[in-house]
Chain A
C-alpha cells in the first residue's frame, strides 16, 4: 500500500536515524581515533588525533601476530555458529511442533547451562580438554561454543517456530506438493529470518567470548582475537599499549560489519513481512 510521507515525517525519521547512528558510533569513533594516535598523543583528550599514524595497525599485523588469531576467530566462530544453529533448529522444531515427553527437561537443561557461571566450569573443562588432547586446538573451542550457544539458539528458534503457521504446510501438501517441497517452498522461507537472527546472536556470543578463549589456548594455533589482545605489550612490562589495543579492536570489528551488512537485509526483509500474511 502506498504511504505518503509528509515532510514532517521525513524530518522526524531522519533525526531518529541520525540519533541512532551517533549514539551507536561515538565510542567507536573514539576507539578509531585512539588507534591512529601516537603513543604520546594518547594523552590528548581530543577526538581528532593531532598526529595521525598508521603504525598501530602496521604493528598489529606484524609484531603482534594478530593475523592468525583473527583467522582463528572467524573460522572457529563460523563453524561453531553453523553447527549450533543446525542442532538448535532441529531441537527447536521438535519443541515447537511435536509432542514428546522430556520436553521440559530439555528446556530446563538448556536454561541451566545458559545460567551457570562460566568461571566455575573453566577449570574442569580445561582438565577434560587436556586429557582428550583438545587443548589449544580448534575443536577445543568449537565444541564448548556450540554447547553454550545451543540454549540461546533453542530458545530463540522455538519462539520463532511457534509463530509459524504450520497449516500452510498442510495446505501445500493438500495442493499436491511433496513434504519436502512443502517444507522448502513454504516453511523454509518463513523460518529463514529466524535462523539468520539466531545465527547472528550465536556468532556474536562466540565472537565476544574471552574467558574460554584465554583458558583453552596457549599459542596462536588456536588463540582467538579477543584473547590475542591480552598478549599485546607495550615498550615495557608496565606500558599498556593503548594504540595497538584500539587498533585491534577496530580491526576485528570489520568482519562483524561485513557479516551484518550481508545478513541484515535478509533478516529484516523476512522479519518485517510478518509471519502471518495479511
Chain B
C-alpha cells in the first residue's frame, strides 16, 4: 500500500512518469545492445585477418612414423593464413578410436573438426548425423583421380561423407626358398602347404582367424572372390547363398588341414607377421606392413621373402580382396566446416600421400601415384597393390555394420568349427536379427 502511494506520489510530483523512465532505460539498453552486437558482427567479419588462423582439431590414430606429422606440417605451412591443423591422437586399437569418436560426437562435441575414420564406419556415423556431407567443389576435388573402391567406402545414401586418405589391402607373401611358384587359388595353396608338411619343412599358412574384424575381412574377401556378397545393395537382408557356402568350405578346409597354424583362432595381423618372421610359416596373407618389418627383423629371410596376388577361390577368377584404410571426414558439429574440408583435402593430397606411403607404409588412394617413381623404392610391389585395389571388394555398408561384423566373426572363429551349410544358415539368421537390431551381440 505504501509502495503504490509512493509511486503515485512520484508521478504526481513531476519528472518523467515511471513508465516512461523505464522505457527510456529500455531504449538505452537496446541501443547499447545493438552497438555491442554491431561491433561483434564487425569483429566476426574481420576475425580471420585480425585474430589469426583458425585451429582445426584433427583426430587420427597414433602414428609412430613421421608421416602424419609431416603431412600436418606441410598443410600448415602452405595455408598458414587460413588455418592451423592440430594433430590429436586417438587410441591405437580401432575399437578404441571408434568409441572415443562416437562418445564425443553423440554429445555434439564441437572440439573435433577433422576425423580419421576406418573405412567401415562411414555408414554408421553418417546415419547418426555425425558427418558433414561433401558437396560442390570439395566433392569434385575429393573424387578426382581417387581409386573407385576407396571412394565407394566413403559414400552413404548417395552422399559423399568423407574423402579417402590411405588404403590397404592384402597380398600373398611367401618364402621363395620353400615355394618356387606362388599358388593362384586357395586349393592350390593348401595342397602346397600339405606337401611342405610332408617334407618336414615350415608349412603354415598365416591368416587372421581370431574372433574380431579381421575374420570378417577374410570372409568378405572369400565371399566376394567366390562371386557373391554378404548383404544386398540396400543393406536390408543377407544374400549369402552358394558363394558363401563355397567360401566357408574353403575356410574350413584350411582350418582342419595341417597348414593351419595352431593359434589360428587367436591370431591377428601382428601374430601372423611374427610367426612368419619366426620361420614356422611358408605363406602369409597380410598387409604390406610386413615387408619393411621383415627387412628390419629378419634380413636373411628377407632375401627369400616374395609377394604375389591374393589367391582366388575359383580357378581363373582373380580374388577380390577386401579394402581397408582410412578416410577423412568433417564433423557435423565442427564450427569451421569449410576450412575443415579444405584442410582434409590438403592432408590427403598427392604430396602427403607419397609421404604416407614411404614413411608410414600405407598405400595411397590416388590412382596416378602408383605410377610415380617416388613410390617405387619402398613399394616394389606397387603394381600388385594397384591391381588388388582396383579389383577390391568393400565390406557391407550398413549403420549396423559393427553388429553384423561381430555376428559374422563369432561364427567364423574358431575356424575349425565351421560347417559350410550350417554356418551359412546361422549367419543368415543372425544377420537378419542384427539388421533389425534384435537380440544381443555375443
Contact = CB atoms under 8 A, between A and B. Distances in A.
Interface of A: 39-40, 42-43, 63, 123, 126-127, 130, 214-215, 218-219, 230-241
B103 A123 contact: yes
B63 A233 contact: yes
A214 B297 contact: no
B91 A236 contact: no
Contacts of A126: 103, 107
Interface stretch (B173-181, B268-276, B409-417): B268-276
Q: Place the interface of chain B in its size category.
A: 35 or more
A40 B268 contact: no
B93 interface: yes
A232 B92 contact: yes
Contacts, number: 70
Contact of B92 (A43, A123, A130, A231): A231
B61 interface: yes
Q: Label chain A's interface by main secondary structure.
A: loop
Nearest to B90: A231
Pairs A-B, 7 closest by C-beta atoms = A236-B289, A238-B269, A233-B92, A230-B91, A40-B297, A233-B62, A240-B270
Given A214-B96, A215-B103, A239-B289, A233 B277 contact: no
A42 B62 contact: no
Given A214-B96, A219-B88, A234 B104 contact: no
A43 B88 contact: no
Given A123-B103, A230-B91, A230-B92, A238 B62 contact: no
A92 B274 CA distance: 54
B289 A237 contact: yes
Contacts of B91: 214, 230-231
A39 B278 CA distance: 12
Contact of B293 (A42, A233, A236): A236
Contacts of B107: 126-127, 130
B157 interface: no
Nearest to A39: B297
A122 to B, nearest CB: 8
B65 interface: yes
A239 B293 contact: yes
Interface of B: 61-65, 88-93, 96, 100, 103-104, 107, 109, 168, 268-270, 273-274, 277-278, 287, 289, 292-293, 296-298, 360-362
A235 B293 contact: yes
A231 B89 contact: yes
A238 B64 contact: no
B173 to A, nearest CB: 14
Contacts of B292: 235
Contacts of A239: 270, 273, 289, 293
A123 B100 CA distance: 11
B121 to A, nearest CB: 15
A63 B270 contact: no
A238 B103 contact: no
Given A130-B107, A214-B91, A43 B268 contact: no
Contacts of A233: 61-64, 92
Nearest to A217: B100
Nearest to B271: A240
A240 B293 CA distance: 13
A234 B270 contact: yes
B326 to A, nearest CB: 9
A231 B62 CA distance: 7
Nearest to B280: A43
A237 B269 CA distance: 10
6 contacts: A40-B298, A231-B62, A231-B90, A235-B64, A235-B361, A239-B293
